[in-house]
Structure 1
Amino acid sequence: MVRPDSAGRTGGAEATRRTRGGATRAGSRRAPRTLRTERFAPYVLVAPAVLIIVTLRLWPLLLGVNFSFTGDGENNGTAVGFANYVELLQDPLFQGALRNVGLLVLLLPVAVAIPGLLATFIYLRVPGHRLFRSVYFFPAVLSPVIVGAIYNLLLAFDGPLNDLLGRAGLGPVDWLGDPGVAMFAVVGVHIWATFGMALVVFLAGFATLNPSLLDAARVDGATLPQVIWHVIIPGLSRTIQFVFVTTMIGMLTSMFGLLYVMTAGGPEGSTYLPEYYIWHEQGQMNRPALASAASTVLFFIMLIVGLAQMSVLRRSGRED
């Protein structure tokens, strides 16, 4: 015979089990909904950015590529196939622009090494590093038009730089009038004016570098070149990849202001770059279809060069 209190306890336990069982089943029904929500949440958050990129970047790019297969002038809006691209490859100005792109690729390691070394000196706290950090970044805030005007005065044939060279017995150099020198002069000015941004990126990369590795290298008696080659470069491989790609893109797409002010594409078209050629064909010659073809070629140049740089840097990082 079961006592009343035992029966009460048994009934209460049974009710508790039923309640828990119902809660478990309800929780199991809610769990898939929660997982489904968590699975779609990243896509919802990323959707606005993707929509903006597709609307303002990819769609205009596709329109430009489509427009490059049409004609100019009397053939405006008429499909001409690859005629614009054939004309580009036969144009001496565009051929010179492509050669200058190759020159930029060769000079790219210099453009990356300068801010990298300066950031290294600042990170190692050389005397006056706080002042140097401000001074190095100052050119990055100047307008390309102002920078070009300043260096037009400095690099003029009768300017102060040639005056110093004359006093040293080296003779004057026609920095902006010699076809073999002008492009190097403009690229040098561009590197001076923009390396401050790469410097900031390198300093941010140094914040992720393990300081114990530097201490161990010092204890082992490593010299500064050995520390840079065996510790800093491997530790900043990701940062170096980023700076390589962004610097190359900047050289291909951000030198118009300097070119326009310093040389206007001259002398003899020796300082043409694809972006300056695009402006010339669109703004001066009123040939938007040909300019669209040149823009498409510039896009693929940046894509190929960027992917090649990342592949080479990743391979060298794995070998290290």
Structure 2
Amino acid sequence: MPIGNAQPSVRPAPAGRTGPARGGLSTERAGNRARRSRGGARAERFAPYILVAPAVLIIVALRLYPLILGVNFSFTGDGVRNGLAVGLDNYRELFHDPLFRTALGNVGLLVLLLPVAVAIPGLLATFIYLRVPGHRFYRGVYFFPAVLSPVIVGAIFNLLLAFDGPLNAVLASVGVRPVDWLGDPDVAMFMVVGVHVWATFGMALVVFLAGFATLDAALLDAARVDGASLPQVIWHVIVPGLSRTIQFVFVTTLIGMLTSMFGLLFVMTSGGPEGSTYLPEYYIWIQQGQMNRPALASAASTILFVIMIVVGLLQIKLLKRAGRED
């Protein structure tokens, strides 16, 4: 037959290559991708909760639940009324106890001295950051007291502050009468707080140095170019730049003052003279360990917890307001 009359050959379409089939497969793949996308988004949404769940469970089991039990126990009685509900009797007894009122007054003293306890490591960290001569040596020396036991620190300062100790000997050599540093009710608490600040400011120093690592050095250079003095640099550049670090140090220092001075108090003054160095922490130990009054101690612990929460929140609020004003 002539070539011109030949019919064009038609090749059969391969299986699975037809138009409708191809469209159905694409739709199925798109659906699979959408389902995987939704599943991935759901997993990402719940991942943070899954990661923090073990820590939350530990906090609830070891912190929150005992705290609730302690608060509940504070409304029960001691002695012949052990386990019986007594309402607010324990709290009334606390506020009628002169020793507990003295302990609360000393808490107020600690709050007043708190800015000093924060300013000391802050200034020392500033000098180290500005690389004063010997800053590497000072960094180690300043941190050294933080590794000492409170018992050792208390024993050392008992010798230094004794009535016939080296400090009074130095004062006598310049014609100053000796002072009973740990036996005078008007002086003893200040001495214990001063020793506590000396022994613990190394940790706050480390926190401040970590905060300085986030400070923009260009701001300091600009302040120097503008001729700002060191106090101006500290107040207008460093303090605003470290506002969050300062808030953290304020809160942790306050907690340390209220809950970590037992060792020093026990070794240096044992709450004396005349109960002038009592703090809630020491009062709680006396009631629980010596007087065998756990319910009253629980009530004192609850009040101490409320004080820390209230004072800590007030400090943060005041610092935030000061930061906005700057």
Q: Same fold (TM over 0.5)?
A: yes
> Is the alpha carbon distance of 1:111 and 1:21 closer, same or farther for their aligned partners in structure 2, counting shifts above 3 Å?
same
Matched residue, 1:42: 48
Residues in 2 aligned to 1:303 and 1:226: alpha-carbon distance in whole angstroms: 33
Out of 242, 245, 249, the residue aligned to residue 243 of structure 1 is: 249
Q: Cα deviation per residue 1:18-77 (whole Å; 9 max; x = unaligned)?
A: 433221111112222222111111111111000000000010011011110011111111
Residue 23, structure 1, aligned to residue 62, structure 2 = no
Q: Secondary structure at the match of 2:177?
A: coil
Residues in 2 aligned to 1:191 and 1:163: alpha-carbon distance in whole angstroms: 24
Matched residue, 1:194: 200
Q: How much has 1:5 moved relative to structure 2?
A: 6.3
Structure with larger Rg = 2
Residues in 2 aligned to 1:98 and 1:63: alpha-carbon distance in whole angstroms: 24
Q: Cα deviation per residue 1:278-313 (whole Å; 9 max; x = unaligned)?
A: 000000111000000000000000000000001111
Residue 211, structure 1, aligned to residue 217, structure 2 = yes
Residues in 1 aligned to 2:174 and 2:95: alpha-carbon distance in whole angstroms: 44
Matched residue, 1:284: 290
Matched residue, 1:52: 58
Residues in 2 aligned to 1:4 and 1:248: alpha-carbon distance in whole angstroms: 90
Q: Cα deviation per residue 1:204-225 (whole Å; 9 max; x = unaligned)?
A: 0000000000000010111100
Residues in 2 aligned to 1:313 and 1:233: alpha-carbon distance in whole angstroms: 10
Residues in 1 aligned to 2:321 and 2:12: alpha-carbon distance in whole angstroms: 76
Matched residue, 2:82: 76
Identity of aligned residues (%): 75
Matched residue, 2:320: 314
Matched residue, 2:3: none
* One-letter code aligned to 2:227: G
Residues in 1 aligned to 2:275 and 2:188: alpha-carbon distance in whole angstroms: 10
> Is the alpha carbon distance of 1:216 and 1:95 closer, same or farther for their aligned partners in structure 2, counting shifts above 3 Å?
same
Residues in 1 aligned to 2:9 and 2:35: alpha-carbon distance in whole angstroms: 39
Q: How much has 1:2 moved relative to structure 2?
A: 9.2
Q: Secondary structure at the match of 1:271?
A: coil
Residues in 2 aligned to 1:292 and 1:18: alpha-carbon distance in whole angstroms: 71
Please list, as runs of the form range in 1=range in 2, the aligned pairs for 1:249-260 lying within 5 A after superposition.
249-260=255-266
Residues in 1 aligned to 2:126 and 2:244: alpha-carbon distance in whole angstroms: 16
Q: Cα deviation per residue 1:101-126 (whole Å; 9 max; x = unaligned)?
A: 00000000000000000000000000
Please list, as runs of the form range in 1=range in 2, the aligned pairs for 1:135-284 lying within 5 A after superposition.
135-284=141-290
Residues in 2 aligned to 1:128 and 1:301: alpha-carbon distance in whole angstroms: 41
Residues in 2 aligned to 1:16 and 1:2: alpha-carbon distance in whole angstroms: 26
Number of aligned pairs?
A: 320
Residues in 2 aligned to 1:128 and 1:3: alpha-carbon distance in whole angstroms: 95
* Structure 2 unaligned residues grouped into runs of 5+: 1-6
Q: Secondary structure at the match of 1:170?
A: coil
Residues in 1 aligned to 2:215 and 2:283: alpha-carbon distance in whole angstroms: 42
> Is the alpha carbon distance of 1:277 and 1:22 closer, same or farther for their aligned partners in structure 2, counting shifts above 3 Å?
same
Residues in 2 aligned to 1:48 and 1:54: alpha-carbon distance in whole angstroms: 10
* Structure 1 unaligned residues grouped into runs of 5+: none
4+ aligned runs moved over 6 Å, structure 1: 5-8
Matched residue, 2:136: 130
* One-letter code aligned to 1:207: A
Residues in 1 aligned to 2:8 and 2:190: alpha-carbon distance in whole angstroms: 103
What is the alpha-carbon root mean square deviation over aligned residues? 1.7
Query: Normalized against structure 2, the TM-score is what?
Result: 0.95
Residues in 1 aligned to 2:195 and 2:33: alpha-carbon distance in whole angstroms: 66
Query: Normalized against structure 1, the TM-score is what?
Result: 0.96
Residues in 1 aligned to 2:12 and 2:257: alpha-carbon distance in whole angstroms: 87
* One-letter code aligned to 2:65: W
